[in-house]
Amino acid sequence: MIRNLLIFILILTSQIAISQRFKSSQSSVMFYSDAPMEDIKAVNESATSLIDLGKKAIVIVVPIKSFEFQKKLMQEHFNENYLESDKYPNATFKGKIIDWSGNEGVSEASAQGTLEIHGVSQDVSLSGEINFQNNKLNISTTFTIRLEDYDIKIPKALFYNIAEEVEVTAKFEYKPYEKNN
Amino acid sequence: MRKTISLILLLCTTGLLAQDELLEILESEQADEKGYVSATFKGTRVINGHSIETRTNGVLEFIISHRFGTINSGYDEFYGLDFSTIRLGLEYGLTDNLNIGIGRSSFDKSVDFFAKYRFIRQSKSSPITATAFTSMVRKTIDELGLEGTDRNAYTAQLLIARKFSSNFSLQVAPTLIQRNLVATAQDDNLLMAIGIGARYKVTNRIAIVSEYYPQLSDKSDQFQNSFAVGVDIETGGHVFQLHFTNAVQMNERGFIGETTDDFWDGDIHYGFNITRVFDLRPNKS
């Protein structure tokens, strides 16, 4: 019994001990869609992310309304008609970092988890690069989203021709996370 | 054995919990944005009257509006389609909140100028959006024998709207119109009215809209209160507004004060507004 308890405490404390959290201090999430009529591009610098190095866990929250388009009306349509940001204000990713040693330096890695956009969750694997140096962490990834997978409908007779796939590029810079800052 | 299983279980659950816990932290720390409400109405018009919406900085909007004859005029008039009045308008966003515009109507060859300024935006700190509107309408037609400033009328409106949910918006518009010359002695020169407009979104791109402008000041029996009901259909850079109304004029003086047909008697006109926007100054990002 006591041995059980000891093991239990050991596990708990060890997890706390190796729980090193990093929070994003800067971010950029950009998507790009190559369409016949006009290319559509939007940038979001309000996304936030947390990484727990001990548990290799990563989460990202992207507020949909913070995507900045060149054309304000396009931005309104994006929020109102496509992403329905009143109903689904955030896109989120939560997952585990795999194929990464945790050593300092630049290395390839990937994260496996759940991407939720427009209220629809999909299991995805994102691959990218991690740069871990001097207690600072940078990650970058590029991946493709099929709008259909997230129930984002494009009307057939539309004046903006929107591609069915968009390319997303995300970059995050992290600093060690302290709870009360 | 049991110990190992419980250990593995414990590890697994904490692994899952880690992500959810991190997500909770992030969501609670999310920057408290102002949360401005957008698209209370889809167009700068509810139907005949202006909505609280303004076009943003550098956006030019071209509005083509038609009102046909009454649909109860029979086959000879092709149910109203043989007759039409038209207004062509251009509106421009000087800033995100300040718009100016000009329009030309075929009815009485009227020219109108307006300015509108949105001074309160619905957000986390304000329950409503409010826009001040002023316009001048001048009838340039000669057949009516109008002279000088008798041709003119001036409008001041306070547009107050709230988007109650992503589907439902309501607007109230206290209105004053100073007419320099009125039809009869029974008609007050200073017209007072309260406009009520509503929008209900049926799908992401289709909404039902309605608008009513009861007059509070004295008017002669020939004039009716303007009523309209319609559908907004939105496709990318266009908004199509299709509607049924008893008004044939498309400026404030005209549809609020000079509507003569009675909607409830069946004197209903089919009409539409089509808008196209042009971004003249897209912000560089």
A84 in B contact zone (CB under 8 Å): yes
Cross-chain Cβ contact A73/B277 below 8 Å: yes
The pLDDT assigned to B21 comes to 82
The pLDDT assigned to A19 comes to 59
A79 in B contact zone (CB under 8 Å): yes
Q: Using the Cα atoms of residue A103, residue A105, residue A113 and residue A175 in order, give the sign of their dihedral.
A: positive
The pLDDT assigned to A80 comes to 84
State yes or no: pLDDT of B123 exceeds 80: yes
A124 in B contact zone (CB under 8 Å): no
B contacts of A55 (beta carbons < 8 Å): 14-15, 18
pLDDT (tens digit, 9 = 90+) per residue, B225-250? 999 999 999 876 678 999 999 999 99
Most confident segment among A83-87, B21-25, B30-34: A83-87
In sequence order, the 6+-apart residues with CB closer than 8 A to the CB of A179 are none
B4 in A contact zone (CB under 8 Å): no
Q: How far apart are CA A74 and CA B59, in angstroms?
A: 12
Best B20, B24, B26 residue to mutate vs chain A (most A CBs within 10 Å): B26
Amino acid at site B100: I
The pLDDT assigned to B108 comes to 93
* d(CA A58, nearest CA chain B) in Å: 7
- Tell me the residue length of chain A: 181
The pLDDT assigned to B20 comes to 84
The pLDDT assigned to B235 comes to 77
A44 in B contact zone (CB under 8 Å): no
DSSP symbol at B135: E
Round the average pLDDT of chain B to a whole number and report it.
Answer: 89
Top pLDDT among A134 and B99 is at B99
Task: Annotate B194-240 with DSSP letters as a single string.
Answer: EEEEEEEESSSSEEEEEEEE-B-S---TT---EEEEEEEEEETTEEE
The pLDDT assigned to A104 comes to 85
- Whole-angstrom CA distances from B33 to A69, B29, B140, B257 are 18, 11, 49, 43
Cross-chain CB nearest to A71 (options B3, B38, B279): B279
The pLDDT assigned to B225 comes to 96
A contacts of B238 (beta carbons < 8 Å): 159
Closest residue in B to A86 (Cα) is: B166
pLDDT (tens digit, 9 = 90+) per residue, B190-222? 999 999 999 999 988 899 999 999 999 999 999
Cross-chain Cβ contact B19/A155 below 8 Å: no
The pLDDT assigned to B258 comes to 93
The pLDDT assigned to B100 comes to 97
Q: What residues are paired with A122 via a beta bridge? A: A115
Q: What residues are paired with A101 via a beta bridge? A: none
Q: How far apart are CA B137 and CA B255, in angstroms?
A: 12
B34 in A contact zone (CB under 8 Å): no
Cross-chain CB nearest to B22 (options A59, A157, A158): A59
B5 in A contact zone (CB under 8 Å): no
Cross-chain Cβ contact B22/A57 below 8 Å: yes
The pLDDT assigned to B285 comes to 43
Closest residue in A to B61 (Cα) is: A73
Beta strand residue intervals within chain A, DSSP E: 21-33, 40-44, 48-52, 57-63, 68-69, 90-98, 105-117, 120-133, 136-146, 165-176
pLDDT (tens digit, 9 = 90+) per residue, B137-146? 999 999 888 8
State yes or no: pLDDT of B15 exceeds 60: no
A11 in B contact zone (CB under 8 Å): yes
Of A61-70, B17-26, B69-78, minimum mean pLDDT range = B17-26
Top pLDDT among B228 and B72 is at B228
DSSP symbol at A80: I
Cross-chain Cβ contact A59/B23 below 8 Å: yes
Residues B170/B150, Cβ–Cβ less than 8 Å? no
- CB atoms under 10 Å from CB of A2, counted, come to 6
Beta strand residue intervals within chain B, DSSP E: 59-70, 84-93, 98-105, 110-120, 129-139, 152-163, 168-179, 190-201, 206-213, 226-235, 238-245, 269-279
* Residue-by-residue pLDDT tens, chain A, 181 positions: 777 777 777 666 555 545 588 999 899 999 988 777 677 899 999 999 999 888 889 999 999 999 999 888 888 888 888 898 888 989 999 999 988 887 888 999 999 999 999 999 999 999 999 999 888 899 999 999 998 899 988 766 555 566 788 999 999 999 998 764 4
Closest residue in B to A7 (Cα) is: B7
A128 in B contact zone (CB under 8 Å): no
Outline where chain A has alpha helix (H): 2-17, 72-77
B31 in A contact zone (CB under 8 Å): yes
State yes or no: pLDDT of B72 exceeds 50: yes
The pLDDT assigned to B32 comes to 54
Closest residue in A to B18 (Cα) is: A57
B283 in A contact zone (CB under 8 Å): yes
Most confident segment among A100-104, B35-39, B54-58, B111-115: B111-115
What's the predicted TM-score (pTM) here?
A: 0.76
Task: Tell me what ipTM this predicted complex has.
Answer: 0.71
Q: B251 phi and psi, to 5 degrees?
A: -120, 165
